[in-house]
């Protein structure tokens, strides 16, 4: 973890599939003691996981059982494949939400889900029609596991992009591949507005925002969340 300043606004960057993320995030929140938390998660994403998550996980299990039978494997052999884990992460409550909501419930502070539901709708619409199909799972399971970026590699990249102040060309090349309606830009603008609105409503309060670390990279085009909020001198912390 790395603190740069100590303002009223703290941006925490996470690696979404960090298996130890819940423990680390809970420990950090207890140290920061915020008055309010915002999350890079939409209300629709939460509703979907609560109402459809279990059913879709059961569908995924059935597809994996069928495929495992075809390949002479056990379901668990496929269950841990990084590509399959990626689908599972769309169906279960992320550690960021679990840690933040538990802390908020115990301390009596509000938690705001400030990502865009319309973007979640686009992604979630593909779960049943495209992702959880025998054809797609067969292709994903055939991919080498080494093609997936490990948590250790993700942390290395995050440190380099957020904490090491790389050259402009390096940062911009990295971000260019991640711009667009579902990535950097459109969502960051919406989340910026929500954060500013909450800060204005609670001028003396300490607000902590939790989201993917990519949104914390400094952007010369001013599209990432961190770049949009730089005038507030937010503290950046990489959960690592």
Q: How far is CA 173 from CA 89, 170, 186, 194, 220, in A?
A: 27, 5, 18, 28, 11
1 pLDDT above the threshold of 80: no
Render pLDDT for 121-148 as a digit per residue (tens, 0 to 9): 988 888 888 999 999 999 998 888 755 5
Q: In degrees, to the nearest 5, what angle opens at C-alpha 144 toward C-alphas 141 and 147? A: 115
Name the packing angle between helices 53-71 and 134-142 (round to 10°).
Answer: 60
E strand map for 15-76: 36-39
pLDDT for the residue numbered 29: 98
Instruction: Give residue 4's pLDDT band: very low, low, confident or very high (50, 70, 90).
Output: low
| Helix (H/G/I), strand (E/B), else coil: 229 | coil
Domain residue extents for the chain: 9-238
Instruction: Give residue 96's pLDDT band: very low, low, confident or very high (50, 70, 90).
Output: very high
Render pLDDT for 14-64 as a digit per residue (tens, 0 to 9): 988 788 999 999 999 999 999 999 999 999 999 999 999 999 999 999 999
2 pLDDT above the threshold of 80: no
pLDDT for the residue numbered 148: 53
Phi then psi for residue 180, to 5 deg, are 130, 175
Rounded distance between C-alpha atoms, residue 198 and residue 82, angstroms? 37
């Amino acid at each position: 973890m790395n603190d740069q300043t100590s303002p009223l606004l703290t941006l925490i960057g996470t690696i979404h599939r960090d298996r130890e993320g819940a423990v680390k995030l809970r420990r950090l929140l207890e140290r920061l003691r915020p008055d309010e938390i915002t999350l890079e998660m939409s209300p629709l994403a939460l509703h979907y996981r609560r109402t459809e998550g279990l059913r879709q996980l059961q569908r995924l299990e059935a597809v994996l059982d069928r495929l495992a039978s075809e390949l002479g494997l056990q379901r668990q052999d496929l269950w841990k494949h990084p590509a399959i884990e990626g689908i599972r992460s769309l169906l279960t409550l992320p550690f960021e939400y679990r840690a933040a909501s538990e802390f908020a419930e115990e301390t009596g502070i509000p938690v705001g889900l400030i990502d865009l539901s319309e973007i979640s709708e686009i992604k979630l619409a593909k779960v049943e029609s495209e992702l959880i199909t025998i054809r797609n799972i067969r292709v994903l399971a055939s991919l080498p596991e080494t093609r997936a970026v490990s948590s250790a590699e993700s942390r290395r990249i995050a440190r380099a992009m957020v904490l090491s102040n790389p050259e402009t060309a390096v940062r911009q090349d990295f971000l260019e591949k991640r711009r667009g309606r579902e990535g950097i830009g459109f969502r960051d603008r919406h989340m910026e507005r929500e954060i500013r609105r909450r800060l204005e409503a609670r001028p003396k309060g300490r607000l902590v925002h939790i989201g993917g670390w990519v949104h914390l990279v400094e952007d010369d085009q001013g599209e990432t969340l961190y770049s949009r909020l730089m005038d507030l001198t937010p503290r950046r912390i990489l959960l690592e």
